[in-house]
Amino acid sequence: MSLLDKFDELEQTQAQLSEGGVNPTNVIVEQALSPTESIIEGRHTIMAGTNNYLGLTFDPACIEAGQRALAESGTGTTGSRMANGNYASHAQLEAELADFYGYPYAMVFSTGYAANIGTMAALVGSGDAILLDGDAHASLFDGGKLSGATVYRFRHNDAESLDKRLRRLGETASRCLVAVEGLYSILGDRAPLKELAEVTRAHDALLFVDEAHSLGVLGEHGKGRIEEEDVEADFVVGTFSKSLGSTGGFCVSPHKALTLFRYASRPYMFTASPCPSVIATTRAALAQLRARPKLRTKLWRNANRLYNGLSQLGLQVGPEPSPVVAVMAGSREHALACWQHLLEAGVYLNLILPPAAPDGSALLRCSVSAAHSDEQIDQIIEAFKNLPP
């Protein structure tokens, strides 16, 4: 058996996904027209699966900032932050993130994925433990593997399950990192963060909160679930690729040790730093997030409109209203047929298959934007009316 034989099964899976038309794992956006519309398969398509929560990807201030940075600093840094790629704008963004969260220390990574695995790998190691929520993002599990720590799961959003796990660890609990998400990306449900934080503190463990989908979405000022629940986490990690409409990731912390992660985090040390234009658009988007709370108000109005509209159709949706609106679709085959139907009706969203989907089922995931109009939300609901049986 050769190294390449294992790809035979993946090739079969790829063929099955393409049988109905467009392969959902390889959609080509032929032209992006706005934060909410693109051309796909030659059709005008409403984008309802982009995570572009605040709709800032075409914001004039963000575009202008990026264009100015391109002219002033060039297309890329061509080096890591540890080498020649540590620009003043990286440090400025770190200072702005620290100020936004009210934490003294911040660190910027090249991607949100790198922020998760890089923070974990620097923080814990052999002889330590990581306790992950059972529905945590793949990058958190990958960070656990890279760290060399022993990784355990506790039941999703279950503080009692977390408490039992920490008790079993005994003295190792004080060398345990508890990692959860503020808003979960598959079903759109929130973490009971206050309860989880109390359990974590009771065992002298550290709390890590991934706010990738809750930055700009939750909290009075858009700081995420930690603000909504009034919880101070030991490490807050997030991404720029959702509400801030660019690419990159970050970690903020009240612990000075974060400043030393630069010497211990391999995904930070051995990756080229973010391009100056990306940093510039991210800084502009963060400023927009802070200055325009009405974006968040519009986002939630749209989220409730879509969630309630799909519920009224009798569809099984996620456990609570959220900018992530999941529709349970049963089998993989049925979900794929529904996804193809929606795309042909001019609506793009995400197809989530096992093992990413919970309980072995498949689902269709919408993500709502502040930039969606009422008419677009209603068109999405209308497209769901005639799904295949």
On whether both 329 and 209 belong to a single domain, the answer is: no
Task: Tell me the three state secondary structure of residue 367.
Answer: strand
At 356 the pLDDT is: 81
On whether both 301 and 315 belong to a single domain, the answer is: yes
Report the pLDDT averaged over residues 287-292.
98
At 8 the pLDDT is: 86
Task: Assess if residue 2 is contained within a domain.
Answer: no
Is residue 380 within 8 A of residue 347, CB to CB? The reply is yes
Look at 59-68, 137-146, 205-214, 240-249 and tell me which has the smallest mean pLDDT. Answer: 137-146
On whether both 80 and 174 belong to a single domain, the answer is: yes
On whether both 77 and 161 belong to a single domain, the answer is: yes
Four-residue CA torsion sign, 354, 356, 357, 359 = positive
* Predicted TM-score of the model (pTM): 0.95
Question: Which of 236, 269, 291 delimits the end of a domain?
Answer: 291
Determine the Cα–Cα distance for residues 109 and 316; give it in Å rounded to an integer: 37
Report the pLDDT averaged over residues 20-29.
86
Residue 357's pLDDT band (boundaries 50, 70, 90)? confident
Task: Assess if residue 171 is contained within a domain.
Answer: yes
At 241 the pLDDT is: 98
At 372 the pLDDT is: 98
Instruction: At 98, list the tokens.
Output: 């620290």
Look at residue 164 and tell me whether its pLDDT is greater than 80.
Answer: yes
On whether both 142 and 236 belong to a single domain, the answer is: yes
Look at residue 19 and tell me whether its pLDDT is greater than 80.
Answer: no
Report the pLDDT averaged over residues 175-193.
97
Question: How many domains does the chain divide into?
Answer: 2
Task: Report the amino acid identity of residue 238.
Answer: G
On whether both 281 and 355 belong to a single domain, the answer is: no
Determine the Cα–Cα distance for residues 266 and 121; give it in Å rounded to an integer: 8
Task: Write the CATH number for 33.
Answer: 3.90.1150.10
Strand order in the sheet with 347-348: 31-32, 37-40, 43-47, 347-348
On whether both 180 and 65 belong to a single domain, the answer is: yes
Is residue 101 within 8 A of residue 289, CB to CB? The reply is no
Determine the Cα–Cα distance for residues 79 and 89; give it in Å rounded to an integer: 15
Question: Which of 291, 322, 338 delimits the end of a domain?
Answer: 291
Paired sense of beta strands 37-40 and 43-47, if any: antiparallel
Residue 260's pLDDT band (boundaries 50, 70, 90)? very high
Task: Assess if residue 389 is contained within a domain.
Answer: no
Look at residue 361 and tell me whether its pLDDT is greater than 90.
Answer: no
On whether both 355 and 325 belong to a single domain, the answer is: yes
Report the pLDDT averaged over residues 340-354.
95
On whether both 15 and 110 belong to a single domain, the answer is: no
Residue showing tokens 């963004």: 93
Look at residue 109 and tell me whether its pLDDT is greater than 90.
Answer: yes
At 360 the pLDDT is: 79
First CA to last CA distance, the chain:
42
From the number of C-beta atoms within 10 Å of its C-beta (0-12, 13-18, 19+), residue 47 rates as buried
Task: Assess if residue 157 is contained within a domain.
Answer: yes
At 226 the pLDDT is: 98
Report the pLDDT averaged over residues 180-194.
97
Task: Assess if residue 146 is contained within a domain.
Answer: yes
Question: Which of 227, 260, 291 delimits the end of a domain?
Answer: 291
Look at residue 1 and tell me whether its pLDDT is greater than 80.
Answer: no
Strand order in the sheet with 350-352: 324-330, 362-367, 350-352
Four-residue CA torsion sign, 146, 152, 157, 159 = negative
On whether both 262 and 281 belong to a single domain, the answer is: yes
**Chain centroid, CA 292 distance in Å:** 21
The DSSP element (H or E) to which 267 belongs, if any, is helix 266-269
Q: What is the dihedral of CA 13, 18, 20, 25, to 10 degrees?
A: 90
Mean pLDDT of the chain: 96
Task: Assess if residue 53 is contained within a domain.
Answer: no
Determine the Cα–Cα distance for residues 43 and 46; give it in Å rounded to an integer: 10
At 297 the pLDDT is: 98
Task: Assess if residue 266 is contained within a domain.
Answer: yes
Residue 307's pLDDT band (boundaries 50, 70, 90)? very high
On whether both 37 and 19 belong to a single domain, the answer is: yes
Task: Tell me the three state secondary structure of residue 166.
Answer: helix
At 190 the pLDDT is: 98
Look at residue 69 and tell me whether its pLDDT is greater than 90.
Answer: yes
Residue 11's pLDDT band (boundaries 50, 70, 90)? confident
At 147 the pLDDT is: 93
Is residue 210 within 8 A of residue 238, CB to CB? The reply is yes
Report the pLDDT averaged over residues 5-34.
86
Report the pLDDT averaged over residues 338-354.
95
User: What size, in residues, is the chain?
Assistant: 389
Task: Write the CATH number for 81.
Answer: 3.40.640.10
Question: Can the peptide bond before residue 104 be classed as cis, meaning omega within 30 degrees of 0?
Answer: no
On whether both 169 and 203 belong to a single domain, the answer is: yes
Task: Assess if residue 26 is contained within a domain.
Answer: yes
Percent of all residues in the chain with a pLDDT value above 90, rounded to a whole number: 89
Enumerate the H helices of 19-58 as residue ranges: none
At 354 the pLDDT is: 85
Nearest to 205 by CA among 242, 243, 181, 172: 172
Residue 130's pLDDT band (boundaries 50, 70, 90)? very high
Phi and psi at residue 387, in whole multiples of 5°? Answer: -65, 150
CA distances (Å), 296 to each of 34, 49, 222, 234, in order?
19, 18, 8, 26
At 126 the pLDDT is: 95
Determine the Cα–Cα distance for residues 111 and 268; give it in Å rounded to an integer: 10
At 12 the pLDDT is: 84
Structural domain that includes position 352: 9-47+293-384
At 367 the pLDDT is: 97
